[in-house]
Each structure stands twice: as C-alpha cells, then as structure tokens.
Amino acid sequence: MRRVKAGVIGTGLIGPIHVEALRRLGFVDVIALAEVDKELAECKAEQMNIEKAYGDFRELLEDPEVEVVHNCTPNFLHFQITKAALEADKDVVSEKPLAMTSSESAELVNLANKKGLVNALDFNYRYYPLIQQARRMAEKGEIGEIYTVHGSYLQDWLYLDTDYNWRLEPERGGESRAVADIGSHWCDLIQFITGAKITSVYGDLATIHPIRKKPLVEVETYAGKELKPGEYEEIKITTEDYATVLLRFDNGARGAFTLSQVSAGRKNRFYFEIDGSRKAIAWDQERPNEMWIGYREKPNEILIKDPSLLDAEAKGYADYPGGHPEGYSGGIKHFLKNVYSFIASGKNPNRDKPNFSTFLDGHHEILICEAVLESSRKKVWIDVKY
Ligand SMILES: NC(=O)c1ccc[n+]([C@@H]2O[C@H](COP(=O)([O-])OP(=O)(O)OC[C@H]3O[C@@H](n4cnc5c(N)ncnc54)[C@H](O)[C@@H]3O)[C@@H](O)[C@H]2O)c1
C-alpha cells in the first residue's frame, strides 16, 4: 500500500481522534494541521508531533504535499472549508454535518462529483463490528421483514444551564442541534443497517433550557463539564435540547426515536431496536461489544463481539479476539481505513463504489433534518425531499 499524506483542519475534540486513527492505519502520514491562529496551531502540532502548523486553513490547502484534507472544524465552517479544499483538488474527509443547509450540501456533492474527488463523511458508528454484523443479518434476510425500528440517543453534557458550547448558537452550530448533531447519526445508522430509506417524519422538538449561561471564555466540546468559569452572560437558546421523531420508511416499516442532550447519567447512549418478522435485534453504543437478539419461539441471545462468531464480511471490522473490547476509536479507524485504502489503490468515486459514507449520505441526513424542523414548526407529517 502506498503512503498517503493527510492534513487536519480543527484540532479540538474530534481532530485529534482522526489523527490517532490515521496513525493506527500504518500507511498514512499526518503532515500538517491548521487552527484558528498560528499560536494554537503550533501548540497542537507540538502536542501531536505534527510537522507543519498553519494558522490559516488556506495555507494548508495551498500545501502541495497534503493530499487529503480532514475538516474537523465547527459546523458553520464546513461548507466554506470543504468547498475550498475541493477547489484546491484535495480529497476530503468531512465531519458531520456536511454543511448548514441542504442547498450548501447539494453544492458540495455536485462539486466533488464534477471533480472526481474522494469525498467521505464521518458517520463513524457504521464501522463497529456488531453494526457490520447487523447489516449483514438484515441483508441476508435473517431479521426478516422489518416491522418497526425505535430507540434513542441520549447525552448529559448539556444537562445544566451553565453547560455551554458553540453548538448552542445557530450561527455556529446550525438551526437544529440535537437532531443535526446526534439524530443524524441515528438516522444514518438505521438506514445503513436496514437498507430502508426514511421517507416521512413527524418531529416534536423542545428547548429545555431557553436561557443558558455562556462562559466568557471559549469551551472545547465536553470540556465544560470540568471547567468552573466564574463569569457568564445570559444567552437565549433557540435550538432543541430534546426531540422525539416518528418515522415512516420506504419498505413500509414504522419507527420513532428520542434525542436528548439533557438526560442525567446518559453519556453517549445511542440505542436502537429493530423488530423483524424472524427476530429482533438491539444494540447500545455504550456496550458496543454486545448485541441482543430476541425471539418469540426460544430463549433470547446475547451475541458477544468475537471475530470467530461474525459473518465473513463483518469479521474484518473486529481487530481483536473476543473478550477484548472494541468501540468508538475502532469505528473511526475502520472508516478511515476504507477511505484511505480506496485512495491508496487509485480508485475514483465516479467509477468505483465507495465502501464508506460519502457526501451524498451527509446531504441526505441534512434533508431529513430539515424535514424534521419543518414538521415540528407546522405540526404535520413531512415527506423528505430527496
Ligand atoms: N463523528 C463524531 O462522532 C463526532 C464527534 C464529535 C464532533 N464531531 C463533529 O466534528 C466537528 C468539530 O467538533 P468538535 O467537537 O471537535 O469541536 P471543538 O470545538 O472541540 O473543536 C473545533 C476545533 O476547530 C478549531 N477551529 C475553529 N475555527 C477554525 C478555523 N477557522 N480554522 C481552523 N480551525 C478552526 C477550533 O479552534 C477547535 O480546535 C463538528 O462539526 C462536530 O459535529 C463529530
């Protein structure tokens, strides 16, 4: 495998996770990073032992050595940076959401297609071993006809009205918060496993803390739980802390999910159940090495992640033997392994089918999110406008 050179823009929470995952692949060199200013860039480059530190993302895009750009900045910068990266003929790995609106995300999909550049969107939960197993089970008809799909995605990092992050500001996070930030993962994963498309939605959204206390210093994601800033300003919040969304799928299945970023004790509890005519399956991201399998005619089972028990195609996503847990960091690693193997072997997304989530998947998620917002405003079912 030839070596590939990467540059990462934005090194708060997720940027360093990308860097670590890339290094674990063994054939990718992270040669550059860009941050808001030169001082922060140099500090982060020192911490992560990265050769080049840029104080402006445009300088990283002008670096001819950088082949692949990772956009790990806050949401409001995704469109601008990704568009500039594609225009500079770089392959791009973008964090979700792809952009702030569906007109922006459609433009990025078209530009990437026109240029024939690799475009990847980090829906990292697809790449867990038991999620790959669930997909194979659905594909092979083992779950049977899908009757219903339901679950939740619950967190507590914005539980208190003193918890603060740029995601709370629509100008930086987008018009939607819980639905765009974590609902996007839920919808993507369910569609990935079942192969069914969400066609209509009915959303009920709520802002539990309509006023929050914004610290007078910038807070990196999750860092607010440990910070105790003394001074705040009061900010009116318009994005949702909570949502429940009813779903209809193109295969006739029905479903629902609840999202919350104010559920005490739930850290990153991404949970689903899929009820089929042959069995049901359930999975919880906080216990990612176990899949519950439910039967009517015999006792239920727990499938423990163990490569020797997985389908041939899912096995490759489990790197360790049974009893050796794998989870979040392995998901991103396998996502990037698929992306970089595609690049290193000279494949072209206009000719070869990518085995990773792309900008088109990111665009579809934004369309679903916009339909949920419209439904919540109008209090009616809304069809997703693919
Ligand atoms: N897929 C996942 O599991 C996952 C998890 C966390 C975050 N994310 C996504 O990643 C993105 C970043 O989230 P985060 O939690 O890491 O945020 P963060 O606030 O922790 O980090 C953002 C970083 O971007 C930097 N930045 C801001 N403006 C910049 C600019 N103009 N040029 C270069 N760098 C700039 C900030 O200084 C900061 O270091 C978001 O879009 C989020 O949705 C995805």
Residue nearest to atom 21 of ligand 1 (CA): 12
Output the pLDDT for position 215: 81
Same domain, yes or no: 198 and 179: yes
Output the pLDDT for position 186: 98
Q: Give distance in angstroms: CA of 77 to centre of ligand 1.
A: 9
- The pLDDT tens digits for 35-60 are 999 999 999 999 999 999 999 999 99
Does any domain span residue 380? no
How many distinct structural domains can be found in the chain? 2
Output the pLDDT for position 163: 92
CA distance 208 to 264: 13
Q: Give distance in angstroms: CA of 211 to centre of ligand 1.
A: 24
- The pLDDT tens digits for 316-339 are 999 999 999 999 999 999 999 999
Same domain, yes or no: 48 and 77: yes
Last residue of a domain, one of 266, 295, 320: 320
Whether 75 contacts 101, CB under 8 Å: no
Q: Give distance in angstroms: CA of 373 to centre of ligand 1.
A: 23
pLDDT at 315 over 80: yes
Per DSSP (E only), the strands in the chain are 4-9, 28-34, 52-54, 68-71, 91-94, 119-121, 146-154, 198-206, 211-215, 232-236, 242-249, 254-260, 269-276, 280-284, 290-294, 301-304, 382-383
Same domain, yes or no: 184 and 250: yes
- Residue 11 alpha carbon, nearest atom of ligand 1: 39
pTM of the predicted structure, to 2 decimals: 0.96
Q: Which residues line ligand 1 (CB under 6 A)?
A: 9-15, 34-36, 57, 72-75, 77, 95-96, 122, 124, 166, 181, 220-221
Same domain, yes or no: 102 and 164: no
- We report the CATH number of the domain holding residue 107 as 3.40.50.720
- The pLDDT tens digits for 270-307 are 999 999 999 999 999 999 999 999 999 999 999 999 99
Output the pLDDT for position 64: 98
Q: Give distance in angstroms: CA of 305 to centre of ligand 1.
A: 31
Does any domain span residue 338? yes
On the CB side of 293, CA atoms within 13 Å amount to: 18
Same domain, yes or no: 120 and 134: no
Output the pLDDT for position 219: 66
Same domain, yes or no: 193 and 235: yes
pLDDT grade, residue 178 (50/70/90)? very high
Same domain, yes or no: 297 and 352: no
Same domain, yes or no: 163 and 307: yes
Output the pLDDT for position 216: 78
Q: Give distance in angstroms: CA of 59 to centre of ligand 1.
A: 18
Does any domain span residue 379? no
Does any domain span residue 65? yes
- We report the CATH number of the domain holding residue 167 as 3.30.360.10
Q: Give distance in angstroms: CA of 186 to centre of ligand 1.
A: 20
Residue nearest to atom 3 of ligand 1 (CA): 124
Whether 276 contacts 146, CB under 8 Å: yes
Does any domain span residue 284? yes
Count of C-beta atoms within a 10 Å radius of residue 51: 11
* String of DSSP letters for 121-179: E--GGGGSHHHHHHHHHHHTTSS-SEEEEEEEEE--TT-STT---GGGSHHHH-S-SHI
Q: Give distance in angstroms: CA of 375 to centre of ligand 1.
A: 29
Range of the domain at 46: 4-124+334-356
Q: Give distance in angstroms: CA of 57 to centre of ligand 1.
A: 13
Same domain, yes or no: 160 and 266: yes
Does any domain span residue 98? yes
Residue nearest to atom 40 of ligand 1 (CA): 74
Our mutation pick for probing the ligand 1 site, out of 19, 40, 221, 227, counting the most ligand atoms within 8 A of Cβ, is 221
Same domain, yes or no: 141 and 120: no
Does any domain span residue 146? yes
Same domain, yes or no: 254 and 157: yes
Our mutation pick for probing the ligand 1 site, out of 39, 57, 72, counting the most ligand atoms within 8 A of Cβ, is 72
Residue nearest to atom 6 of ligand 1 (CA): 14
pLDDT at 239 over 60: yes
Does any domain span residue 307? yes
Residue 23 CA from chain centroid, whole number:
20
Our mutation pick for probing the ligand 1 site, out of 8, 11, 14, counting the most ligand atoms within 8 A of Cβ, is 14
Our mutation pick for probing the ligand 1 site, out of 36, 59, 157, 185, counting the most ligand atoms within 8 A of Cβ, is 36
pLDDT grade, residue 123 (50/70/90)? very high
Q: Give distance in angstroms: CA of 122 to centre of ligand 1.
A: 13
- The pLDDT tens digits for 216-238 are 776 666 666 555 656 788 899 99
Same domain, yes or no: 136 and 118: no
CA distance 153 to 240: 14
Percent of the chain with pLDDT over 90: 94
